[in-house]
């Protein structure tokens, strides 16, 4: 199934990817072939099979509500590109 150019541009925008026109064409073809590969599953009769969201046979994996040591503010800010004394500075958000 081939994706339209409009669909490719929409998905790129959702992912905040700026694509050139030639990339739209190339990635559109690649993405379409991936979808075609996955859609092979549609050929099977799966009416009686519930959708599987997890391959693991596990449920209720939960942790006790006990605090554990966290990072110091200094450690937390080590990778910040523009640290402020009280936290992570980010550019102004366009409304």
Q: What per-residue string of b and e applies to 20-56 under the rule 16 or more CB within 10 Å gives b?
A: eeeeeeebbeebbeeeeeeeeeeeeeeeeeeeeeeee
Contact call for residue 81 and another protein (CB under 8 A): no
| Largest separation between any pair of C-alpha atoms in the chain | 59
Per-residue contact flags (x/-) with another protein for residues 59 to 78, judged by CB under 8 A: xxxxxxxxxx-xx-x--xx-
Could you tell me the end-to-end alpha-carbon distance of the chain, in angstroms, rounded to an integer? 37
* Least distance (Å) between residue 18 CB and another protein: 14
Nearest to another protein of 22, 95 (CB atom): 95
Contact call for residue 90 and another protein (CB under 8 A): yes
Residue 87 to residue 74: CA distance in whole angstroms: 9
Nearest to another protein of 22, 64 (CB atom): 64
Q: Which residues bind another protein (CB under 8 A)?
A: 10, 14, 16, 53-54, 56, 58-68, 70-71, 73, 76-77, 84, 86-93, 95
């Amino acid at each position: 199934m081939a994706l339209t150019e409009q669909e490719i541009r929409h998905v790129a925008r959702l992912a905040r990817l700026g694509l050139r026109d030639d990339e739209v064409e190339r990635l559109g073809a690649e993405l379409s072939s991936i979808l075609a590969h996955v859609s092979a599953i549609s050929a099977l009769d799966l009416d009686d099979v519930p959708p599987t969201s997890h391959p693991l046979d596990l449920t209720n994996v939960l942790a006790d509500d006990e605090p554990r040591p966290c990072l110091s503010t200094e450690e937390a800010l080590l990778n910040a590109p523009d640290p402020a004394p009280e936290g992570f500075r980010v550019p102004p958000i366009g409304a």
